Chain A
Amino acid sequence: MAFLEIEKARKVYGANTVVQTFELSVQRGEFVSFLGPSGCGKTTTLRMVAGFEIPTSGTIRINDRDVTHLRPNQRKVGMMFQAYALFPNMTVAENVGFGLKVAKAPAAEIKSRVEEMLNLIKLPQMAGRYPYQLSGGQQQRVALARALANKPQVLLLDEPLSALDAKIRISLREEIRAVQRELGITTIYVTHDQEEALSMSDRVVVMSEGRMEQVGTPFEIYNFPRTRFVASFVGTLNILKGRVLDPKSGRISLDDQEVVTSRGISDAQAGEIRSVALRPEAVAIGRNGAGGNQLQGTIEEVAFLGAVVRIRMRLRESAIHFDTFNNPSVPPPERGQSVTVGFSREDILVLEGAPS
């Protein structure tokens, strides 16, 4: 039995379906991210788990208890918001101890728990400060401590890093993950940043327009996107228009050049137009050995980014981006030059649905 279960949850505002049938089981101690652009329903789903929104239909269960219609203050969830959520009139220690005070814990217990939490987030010297005396990153760490002080059953994080500087964002995401692992707390993390989702999560739920597009480990999501949306949202995949020549042998035509995929396209008909994904890091200049794929095209753009050179090659209709590492003894190709690139059969992926 999973620890947190969301069963067929839907949310409708008037004529607007914000979340379509959402189905997810989260194991105890698991870290799951909801990833998608703004308006995809990820925050609404999180707020249904928190209790701020009641699903139009469906059930939410935490630790085998139906909480669908429970008020947020009875759910024992900890939540961390984007920003500005610390109580400005209270010190750091009072903020962290707020939930325990509400729960009428004895003063001595509150004190020791607050100390423990502040040590956990490595800010024990800040206990007497007010929120406005802290940096954005410190405020969010205190918010994390406050969310965890009551030993909630589930930790909910609503884009907690999106208001911070890039550098702090990276160090704080490692810190959040470390704290989460240490406490083994079941966590849902909402973000629109694919790097964040991929680097932190045990599993990622990619969402678009209220739909769950794909659920899987970061490895699966990145390497084997199922839909065009996932492919384009996660990473920098090349999405090409391909015509299926022979579903059985996996032959596809990309702008009349034939390639072969070793991944099944058994659900496709011959002649059907499908989206085809090709990861930029799989492509290299030169022929791929026997059994590999090659494509011919013209170099359209060369961007020198330092360690990496990003190249765009035009086939006919489609263009392929790919990266090569900078090599001082081999200058990058020139624009207008005609080249052949190679990649292996595993690297080409036929997605569900036709290109838009």
Chain B
Amino acid sequence: MKESRLGAWLALIIGTLYFVVPLIGTFEFSLRMRRGTYSFDAYRVVFSDPRFQASFGYSTVLAIATIIVGVLLVVPTAYWVQLRLPRLRPVVEFLTLLPLVIPAIVLVFGYIRIYGSSSLIPFTANERSTDLLLTFSYVTLALPYMYRAVDTGLRAIDVRTLTEAAETLGAGWPRILFTVILPNVRMAVLSGAFLTFAIVIGEFTMASLLSRPAFGPYLQLMGANRAYEPSALAIIAFVVTWACMGLIQVFGRGKAAARRPAGR
């Protein structure tokens, strides 16, 4: 009993060290820009760099667009599969998992071949339509996470009964989807959205090969040319991701707390 607990502690400590030591090392290094003393100089430099602001802003806008397109694509699909095509569920699940199996580099070369400027649908012909293509590719990348989150949310409510109740009250499809289904999977959609945000902020391959000024390529550029700033950027990226995770937790718990009175 005592021995097994010792083993568990050992595993925990090794695991923690494995994750935390490099992080602490990176953080410590990012503070050493000014010789001989710790300072936040590297962060100041990063935050005042107009390219940081521009690329972070660009990626944020794209992340929001990705979330909107993703929600509009995934919620009706998952809803329809659950309600009318339950037998197709394994197929759809497999499809949504494909982006995890196919490397982003393969995807983006496929995109460039199909949507290149000399193709029938020349998405890459100008910057705006390239942004659109990048958004769609981000939707694809985030699909596994978004679909799973929404599907789990839909399973937690009685989709069929709610739909039928709304139907007998005269409601049509758009109203059922937006006033009955969506508000009841709000938490699931939010957690899918935060995951999507974290993925888009850190994504490098797609943005780089479509040569768009996103945050990922900027990170890479800094890493190749500077010493202290990349460490600061890495820490910033971590904080953004963790903030997203934290928000998922907060919203998830908020729901649980609101539901608690039902148990009494």
Contact = CB atoms under 8 A, between A and B. Distances in A.
Given A50-B168, A79-B165, A102-B171, A89 B261 contact: no
Contact of A81 (B161, B169, B171): B161
B227 interface: no
B241 interface: no
- The binding surface of chain B is classed by DSSP as helix
Interface string A61-87: 000000000011111111101111111
B98 interface: no
B169 A99 contact: yes
Given A73-B172, A132-B261, A88 B165 contact: no
Contacts of A98: 166, 169, 171
Interface in A111-159: 132-133, 143, 146-147, 150, 152, 156
A146 B168 CA distance: 10
Interface residues of A, number: 33
Nearest to B171: A102
Contact of B170 (A83, A85, A99): A99
A85 B169 contact: no
A153 to B, nearest CB: 12
Contacts of A152: 168
A3 B262 CA distance: 41
Contact of B167 (A72, A86, A89, A156): A72
B259 interface: yes
A102 B162 contact: no
A52 B184 CA distance: 23
B44 interface: no
A103 B186 CA distance: 25
A79 B261 contact: no
Contact of A72 (B162, B164, B186): B164
Interface string B149-170: 0000000011001101111111
Contacts of A132: 259, 261-262
A98 B170 CA distance: 9
A344 to B, nearest CB: 49
Contacts of A86: 165
B170 A73 contact: yes
B210 interface: no
Contacts of A103: 170
A85 B157 CA distance: 10
Nearest to A50: B168
A136 B162 CA distance: 16
A46 B164 CA distance: 13
A73 B168 contact: yes
Given A84-B158, A146-B169, A133 B164 contact: no
Contacts of B169: 73, 78, 98-99, 102, 146-147, 150
B175 interface: yes
B262 A133 contact: yes
Q: Which of A81, A143, A156 has the most CB of B within 10 A?
A: A81
Interface string A321-340: 00000000000000000000
B164 A52 contact: yes
Contact of B165 (A75, A81, A133): A81
A85 B158 CA distance: 8
Interface string B5-18: 00000000000000
Contacts of B166: 87, 98
Interface string B28-39: 000000000000
B158 A79 contact: no
Interface string B167-197: 1111110010000100110100000000000
Contact of A150 (B162, B170, B175, B180): B170
B184 A79 contact: no
6 closest Cβ pairs, A-B complex? A99-B169, A132-B262, A89-B183, A79-B168, A72-B167, A84-B158
Given A74-B170, A102-B170, 14 more contacts: A73-B167, A77-B168, A81-B165, A84-B161, A85-B161, A85-B162, A86-B165, A89-B184, A98-B166, A99-B170, A102-B175, A133-B262, A150-B169, A152-B168
15 contacts: A72-B164, A73-B169, A73-B171, A74-B170, A79-B164, A84-B158, A84-B161, A85-B158, A85-B161, A87-B180, A98-B166, A132-B262, A146-B165, A146-B169, A150-B170
